[in-house]
Amino acid sequence: MKALTLAATTFIAASAAAADTPELTVYAGDYFTSEWGPGPVIEKGFEEFCNCDLVFSTGDLLPRLLLEGERTKADIVIGLTSDVTAKARATGLFTTHGQDNGVLTLPIEWTDDTFLPFNYGHTAFMYNTTTMATPPASFEALLAMPDDIKIVIQDPRTSISGLALVLWVQSVYGDKAEEVWGKLAPKILTVTKDWSSSYGMFTDGEADMVLSYTTSPAYHMFAEDDQTKKAAIFPEGHYFMVETVGKIAATDQPELADMFMEYVVSEGFQKVIPSANWSLPSALPRAEWPEGWDQLDLPEKVLFYNETEAAAVQDQAIEAWRSALTQ
Amino acid sequence: MAQRADPVKRHLGLTAAVFTVAVVVLAAVGIATRIEPASGLGPGDWAAVRFTVHQALWSAGISVLLAIPVARALARRQFFGRGALVTVLGAPFILPVVVAVMGLLAVFGRNGWANVALDFFGLPPVSIYGFHGVVLAHVFFNLPLATRLLLQGWQSVPAERFRLAAQVRLTPWAMFRAVEWPLIRQIVPGVAALIFVICLTSFAVALTLGGGPRATTIELAIYQAFRFDFDLGRAALLSLTQLVLAGGAALLALWIIPMISVGGGQDRPLARWDGRTVSQRGLDVLFVGLAACFLLLPLFAVVLRGLIGMPLVPQVVWQATGASFIVAVISVLVLCLLALPMAGWIASKRSGGVEAVGLLGLSASPLMIGTGWFILINPVMNPADLALPVTALINALMALPFCLRILVPHLRDTMQDFGRLSAALGLRGWPLWRWVVLPRLAPQIGFAAGLTGALSMGDLGVIALFADADRATLPLQMYRLMGAYQMEAAAGAALILLVSALGIFWTCDAMGRRYASN
């Protein structure tokens, strides 16, 4: 037990090291602060002018907030996706974001004044041009593809992208969703717990297609100079995915928090988000996107359920998926 | 009844057991304080329960059945590299799930080596996805553990037995019935129960190799309830279901383990005269060869991918390696404090039922323990400050049942053989451990410590819930890399993980054996 106590004391001592400059605590998703995540760039950009210390604290965002409740140390929470905003809102921990939604350049209208989008993308099936010369040109074409084309997807019960997929199918096909899943079932190689495992199976060549994002090809194009990984674009539309920032009402750094919110929609932040997060900026006209990003294949039609609509159809959409795939 | 020697002061063992139960029960209490009214289990949940039990039974059964001939062959053969093989064969058990899956797919996947070979001979490809894939993966993970535990049993047979068997020229069948079968009967139920419980709590492997929602386990539903829906009531209900299943299996297995001792000897070095016919040799080579191929090829794939990714591994991964080492060392210390007194206490009892207490930590979902303790710690201090100690504690609890299974049988034999003599000499407490128990138990303690350290190194555990940016462990850092498209760097991190975990395992194991041989 001594070892435990000793270790605990060390950590407490380390964290108690007093800071002279004000500290802004930002809760972020797990991937956020890795060397290739957006965290380091955001921290550097903000600290250049805030005269403060931005401290990221990573972990499972929503479970952590719900567990901590009023005792949360967070001033800002970054990375809440639209499927959890309803639960996050219900905690009553958040206050208004204070920015003008009019500056947003999203493909959908955003009216929420609590959660401020900072990047977006869409669900998409990716393929490799070296192994698939003609990708499906529509969702219908995907359904009609031969069964030896193998797709790997994520579980809607354990992953956000998996959930977006079933909502995508639901929004395109409505009551026929289960039938559509029945047609997809023989092509689905397997279902993984999270996006990473699926994506690894795709890059390893285990699967022909993977459920990912319209922005995933950007990573390969710009970071690896690889033009062979592309997203198939369907005229039926693609499901919109957004990540948001929220301000904690009880923050002890309200000015800094406001300053951060302002920073999120500023050009400095928006211009780095594409290559830092491999996603599209939420408040930057397409003409000002970093070089090359306008070449990315993006859908004309965008589908989206807001949190209330999503809550209403979510169970039905997951059940359609589950029952068709367990036949 | 004659007075029996206490291998340890009983209250220490009792304290350790109570502590173990308290950690789990308090976590449950923590969750209970936050529960909202829960609905019962739905039809989907019952399907998950059925699937979970079904696959766990098959996985445990096949793992143990295959382990018997492999352990038998390893026990009676000496060959170059045998020690190294036995160590490396343990690796699948400590691999993080996602790494193991990638390794398995490199061999058995659609474009895997197995299918390339089949194609070369003009044979149709095989698909790994489905129920058989789940079992295959679980056998990959657990065959090494089963083999090691059985092998250890074989090696505990006194040398005199084999000498006598050779002198009276026992036929192979008579040899099996007289020496090996009692041994198998004593070890197999416990090992099978342990693997059953491990497979019971599997989820990402089952889902991926099972090919979709048909392979939904209870643990997946627990994960969904805790991390995704945040429905604590449902999560607690599901955790309880899992506990009952695991506890039932444990009690059943421990109840049917016969209370027989393989008997004492004079601690002579082991020599074997049996199994010298050509067909016996051939079979042994075949079993060891097949097991080695099955276990080593996916590992080889992991190593290959890792070497390619090594140059891309960022600095933070090395920091995380340091954090993981700290967690592993604390886990080993906690484990020793818990397992040794508990093993002593259990070994001094006639019935093995109390060993079920050890299984509590494994069968309770780590998510449940982690979440419960988060709720308990939160009002007092920032849970993130306790991230590493809590992870280490939970890892030690997870490893406890393995360690008890490793320690108890041998300790029980030692006490039966030397207990009365020690009692007559008035040897008790620490001197008893120092002169009688430790020298005989050192290999087992080393093995148990090594296993705990390695498991702790590779386990993602509950750190994700608690972790802070700079307190990430190696597995967590690896997942972060994967999340940021850095699949190759992640493969490099996986290799570092594999090497460090094996390193810890080998060091403890070798230290134990060296202490014993001195």
The three state secondary structure string of chain A is: CHHHHHHHHHHHHHHCCCCCCCEEEEEECCCCCCCCCCHHHHHHHHHHHHCCEEEEEECCHHHHHHHHHHHCCCCEEEEEECCCHHHHHHCCCEECCCCCHHHCCCCCCCCCCCCEEEEEEEEEEEEECCCCCCCCCCHHHHHCCCCCCCEEEECCCCCHHHHHHHHHHHHHHHHHHHHHHHHHHHHEEEEECCHHHHHHHHHCCCCCEEEEECCHHHHHHHHCCCCCEEEECCCCCEEEEEEEEEEECCCCCHHHHHHHHHHHCCHHHHHHHHHHHCCEECCCCHHHCCCCHHHCCCCCCEECCCHHHHHHHHHHHHHHHHHHHCC
What is the complex's ipTM, to 2 decimals?
0.85
Cβ–Cβ gap B105/A30 under 8 Å: no
Q: Name every chain B residue with its beta carbon within 8 A of the beta carbon of A192.
A: 204, 207-208
Task: Please report the pLDDT score of residue A297 as a whole number.
Answer: 92
Q: Name every chain B residue with its beta carbon within 8 A of the beta carbon of A219.
A: 485
Nearest to B98 among A189, A197, A325 (CB): A197
CA-based R_g, chain B, Å: 23
Give, in order, the Cα–Cα distances in Å from B317 to each of B60, B321, B392, B473. Answer: 35, 6, 19, 9
Task: Please report the pLDDT score of residue B259 as a whole number.
Answer: 56
Nearest to B330 among A4, A71, A197 (CB): A4
Cβ–Cβ gap A189/B129 under 8 Å: yes
Q: DSSP class of residue A78?
A: E
Interface of B with A in 328-367 (CB under 8 A): 329-330, 333-334, 337
Tell me the pTM: 0.87
B304 inside 8 A of chain A by CB: no
Residue A237, sorted as left (phi over 0), alpha (psi -120 to 50) or beta, turns out to be left
Q: Which of B247, B196, B251, B244 is CA-nearest to residue B61?
A: B196
Q: Which of B311, B299, B251 is CA-nearest to residue B94?
A: B299
Q: DSSP class of residue B459?
A: -
Q: Backbone phi, then psi, for B348, in 5-degree steps?
A: -85, -5
- Nearest-angstrom CA–CA distance, A159 and A212: 12
- Nearest-angstrom CA–CA distance, A131 and A127: 8
A301 inside 8 A of chain B by CB: no
Q: Name every chain B residue with its beta carbon within 8 A of the beta carbon of A181.
A: none
- Nearest-angstrom CA–CA distance, B440 and A280: 64
Chain A residue at shortest CA distance from B313: A35
Question: Which positions ≥6 away from B338 have C-beta within 8 Å?
Answer: B16, B19, B20, B396, B397, B400
Residue A37 buriedness (CB in 10 A; 0-12 / 13-18 / 19+): buried
Question: Which positions ≥6 away from A317 have C-beta within 8 Å?
Answer: A156, A166, A167, A169, A170, A177
Q: Which of B376, B373, B378, B403 is CA-nearest to residue B390?
A: B373
Cβ–Cβ gap A12/B381 under 8 Å: yes
Residue B275, sorted as left (phi over 0), alpha (psi -120 to 50) or beta, turns out to be left
Three-state SS at B167? helix
Task: Please report the pLDDT score of residue B278 as a whole number.
Answer: 77
Cβ–Cβ gap A60/B483 under 8 Å: no
Q: Backbone phi, then psi, for B466, in 5-degree steps?
A: -100, -25
Task: Please report the pLDDT score of residue B266 as a whole number.
Answer: 59
Q: Which two tokens stand for residue B113?
A: 């080596």
Tokens 């350049």 -> residue: A105
Q: DSSP class of residue B278?
A: H
A222 inside 8 A of chain B by CB: no
Task: Please report the pLDDT score of residue B465 as a whole number.
Answer: 64
Model confidence pLDDT, tens digit, residues B76-108: 878 888 888 888 877 888 777 878 888 999 999
CA angle B208, B213, B214 (to 5 degrees): 100
- Nearest-angstrom CA–CA distance, B205 and B133: 9
Tokens 């890059």 -> residue: A203
Residue B456, sorted as left (phi over 0), alpha (psi -120 to 50) or beta, turns out to be alpha
Q: Within 13 A of B512's CA, how many CA atoms are on the CB side? A: 22
Q: Which two tokens stand for residue B15?
A: 């304290």
**Alpha carbon of B212: minimum distance to chain A alpha carbons (Å):** 5
Tokens 């029952």 -> residue: A323
A41 inside 8 A of chain B by CB: no
Interface test with B, best of A1, A2, A4 (most B CBs within 10 A): A4
Size of interface A-B (CB pairs under 8 A): 179
- Nearest-angstrom CA–CA distance, A285 and A271: 10
Q: Name every chain A residue with its beta carbon within 8 A of the beta carbon of B98.
A: 196-197, 200
- Nearest-angstrom CA–CA distance, A240 and A243: 10
- Nearest-angstrom CA–CA distance, B435 and B30: 44
- Nearest-angstrom CA–CA distance, A112 and A118: 13
Cβ–Cβ gap A326/B483 under 8 Å: no
Chain A residue at shortest CA distance from B487: A200
Model confidence pLDDT, tens digit, residues B370-406: 888 888 887 777 777 777 778 888 888 888 888 888 8
Q: Which of B85, B93, B87 is CA-nearest to residue B399?
A: B93
CB B212 within 8 Å of CB A323 = no
CB B52 within 8 Å of CB B217 = yes
**Alpha carbon of A206: minimum distance to chain B alpha carbons (Å):** 6
Three-state SS at B294? helix
**Alpha carbon of A291: minimum distance to chain B alpha carbons (Å):** 21
Task: Please report the pLDDT score of residue B269 as a whole number.
Answer: 61
CB A93 within 8 Å of CB A101 = no
If you count them, how many residues does chain A have?
327
Q: Which two tokens stand for residue B96?
A: 């993080």
Which DSSP helix (H) or strand (E) runs through A119? strand A116-128
CB A283 within 8 Å of CB A105 = yes
Task: Please report the pLDDT score of residue A45 as a whole number.
Answer: 92
**pLDDT less than 50: residues of chain B:** 1-5, 7
Cβ–Cβ gap A196/B337 under 8 Å: no
Q: Which of B472, B227, B137 is CA-nearest to residue A34?
A: B472
What string of pLDDT tens digits covers the 327 residues of chain A? 344 444 444 444 444 444 468 999 999 987 787 777 888 899 999 999 999 999 988 877 888 888 888 888 899 999 998 888 998 999 999 999 999 999 999 999 999 999 999 999 999 999 999 999 999 999 999 999 999 999 999 999 999 999 999 999 999 999 999 999 999 999 999 999 999 999 999 998 999 999 999 999 999 999 889 999 999 999 999 999 999 999 999 999 999 999 999 999 999 999 999 988 899 999 999 999 998 898 899 999 999 999 899 989 999 999 999 999 987
Tokens 């809440």 -> residue: A80
Q: Backbone phi, then psi, for A246, in 5-degree steps?
A: -135, 150
CB B403 within 8 Å of CB B347 = no
**Alpha carbon of B384: minimum distance to chain A alpha carbons (Å):** 9
Which DSSP helix (H) or strand (E) runs through B476? helix B474-483
CB A162 within 8 Å of CB A206 = no
